Structure 1
Amino acid sequence: MCLAIPACVEEIVSEDCAIVNLSGIRREVSLALMENVEIGDYVIVHVGFALQKIDPLEAQQTLAMFAKMQNEDDPFADN
């Protein structure tokens, strides 16, 4: 099973590299598979590669769903 996560582009490091924010964690990802990525874009990230742009609203909804699933699986979380 593969999991790709929405992330916000915070910095363009080079032509094929960017820093993204994955729910508060900043990571360097490859832009080698994409074109025309700009700061503020949301991209789908899988194994260190940005695969495609995603609508910001859809990205926020997906991240909220991941957070909810994580809290539901945590028996110590305040629900």
Structure 2
Amino acid sequence: MGANAILRTWAEQFGALPAALLARLDREVHPLITRASGRYQLKDLGREAFHDWGGVHTEFYELVLIDHAAQSLSLLVAADD
């Protein structure tokens, strides 16, 4: 699954998003994904890596976005906390 699909699936897991939030994602987050020349999803480390509150999240994603042209690296964390 691609980075945009991961983000959209996570964001809409409980229903449609308000228009203002969709606009903000389109303005601030999706361009990071689109411009990235490298996109990586960090792997799930499993239950043994959980801290005391680790089990309270239903969905949790970490995406590393590398934009070589802009010489930037972004960590996009999608979590329900």
Q: What's the TM-score, normalizing by structure 2?
A: 0.28
* Structure holding more strand per residue: 1
* Structure holding more helix per residue: 2
Q: What's the TM-score, normalizing by structure 1?
A: 0.28
